[in-house]
Structure 1
């Protein structure tokens, strides 16, 4: 789903907010016992398990095999762990090309779709996966999401001589649409959009002074992985210096998130 290399330990250890904020999105999904629900981009499975706890039959998919391995470790298959008593499974699959023989009552996705530039391919797969009348419930980064962070990162990389063409190609791999853009794409493929909102959500990062560093290592790895260890440290320090006055308060870094929430009916 992205060109990032995911560090599952860093994801679970320092970025639990990703799925903790997603728990509120489950209220919008309102899973019902017996429903078949696909969790698109499930990561290490926390929200997929929450869906299964309602009595729904949950399948979590992610393109990253390490994430699925983590999900299976966190929530062993019920055949192996009868005490779990959940209809819960995980599989490696790409959001832009997945296909299943079964049809789902709902497709759910939290903090994933901004990693996939080919939004139309994803929407097509989701639409085909749903039963008639099925619902698609998602939250992801919207227009100007982490604008302060990404601008500071781009400036810092340019200062150390990072190739501008490569920088532009990497930046374009994020997809932060406006409501108008995304809902139009949904409607063009047959969805009836019944709810859409764009909102600011400043998000506190864990680990005090190291919060922004951890965020960059986790979510901007496609930039930093091309640098030496010394260059990585230099870039991170430059980003921190640029953003300290705006995003650092009372010993805590805060990410300038803007999120889209949307519900579409097939």
Structure 2
């Protein structure tokens, strides 16, 4: 399935809910380091991987970035958290293990079928992130190896911002590059500076971005940011 995206001449429509303060904003742990050992971790693609990008994506997904992202996000009991690009649901289950109320979203029905079988206590939605409107905003968003598939990146950032409650935060891993990348590449690999500019222009604050292991296929961006109150 392919992702549809809003036109670039105007922002996507606002989600149909009023703004309200976050009940459990948690915090972003900016002291976390990206030195975790390598181990398998779930796929987070929200669309089928282009063949030319499969090696780079597997590298990002195989790094043990999920535990790092969870340390940064610090999911709290009772929080509503969106798991963007949940794949087979392992990351969604980790959020549930922390006591949160996660919702996993992905485009691929085969992966979601496995997720529902393995983790029946979690909620999963088959949808296009750029077209879906959830019933209420989230306290936090986890995006593990998924944002680099969503185009254009400024629209993805806009929806991340408006899917969060005021004070809500997100943590993400995505393909990065030491040098600036073209936004129209099938597999978008921004530099930390480029992605930071997108998030700042969208309205996020407390932005923390680190290029992790740049020697491996250009590296992985570890990102944390918050929607202001």
Once the two structures are TM-superposed, the CA of residue 18 in structure 1 deviates from its matched residue by: 3.7
Q: 2:112 aligns with which of 68, 80, 93?
A: 68
Is this contact kept in 1: 2:88–2:112, CA < 8 A? yes
Distance 1:66 1:195 in 2: 34
Q: Match for residue 142 of structure 1?
A: 176
Tell me whether 1:43 sits opposite 2:72 in the alignment. Answer: no
Residue aligning to 1:263: 224
> How far off its partner does 1:133 sit?
0.4
Q: Which one of the candidate residues 127, 141, 146 is aligned to 1:112?
A: 146
2:202 and 2:60 map into 1 onto residues whose CA distance is 33
Change in Cα spacing, 1:16 to 1:180, as seen in structure 2 (3 Å) is: closer
Compute the displacement of 1:199 (Å).
2.0
Give every structure 1 segment of 4 or more consecutive aligned residues whose post-TM-superposition deviation is greater than 2 Å: 1-6, 14-21, 95-98
- Pick closer, same or farther for the CA change 1:3–1:51 going to 2, 3 Å: closer
Partner of 1:2: 47
2:196 maps to which residue?
183
Q: Specify the SS of the correspondent of 1:34.
A: coil
Cα distance in 2 for residues equivalent to 1:72 and 1:139: 24
1:40-99 Cα deviation digits (max 9, x unpaired): 0001000110011011001110111112112112112x3xxxxxxxxx211112122221
Q: More helix per residue: 1 or 2?
A: 1
Q: Distance in 2 between matches of 1:24 and 1:179?
A: 18
Preserved CA contact (<8 Å) 2:60 2:220: no
In the alignment of these two chains, the number of paired residues is 175
Alignment match, 2:205: 192
1:138, distance to aligned residue in structure 2 (A): 0.6
Question: Secondary structure at 1:256's aligned position in 2?
Answer: coil
Structure-2 separation of matches of 1:93 and 1:201: 32
CA contact (8 A) 2:103 2:124 kept: yes
TM-score by length of 2: 0.68
Which is further off, 39-48 or 171-180? 171-180
Q: 1:123 aligns to what SS in structure 2?
A: helix
Instruction: Report the alpha carbon displacement of residue 16 of structure 1 after superposing the two structures with TM.
Output: 10
Distance 1:135 1:24, change over 3 A: same
| Residue number among 127, 131, 144 corresponding to 1:97 in the alignment | 131
Cα pair 2:178 2:214 within 8 Å, conserved: no
Highest CA radius of gyration, 1 or 2?
A: 1
Query: Do the aligned partners of residues 264 and 17 (structure 1) sit closer, same or farther apart at CA in structure 2, a change above 3 Å counting?
Result: closer
Q: 1:207-222 residue pairs with structure 2 within 5 A?
A: none
Structure 2: runs of 5 or more not aligned: 1-45, 52-57
SS at match of 2:213: strand
Give unmatched runs, 5+ long, in structure 1: 7-13, 79-87, 146-170, 203-254
Q: Secondary structure at the match of 1:2?
A: coil
Does structure 2 retain, via aligned residues, the 8 Å contact 1:98–1:125?
A: no
Contact 1:45/1:71, CA 8 A, preserved across alignment: yes
Determine the C-alpha separation between the residues in 2 that align with 1:16 and 1:199. Answer: 10
CA contact (8 A) 2:178 2:211 kept: no
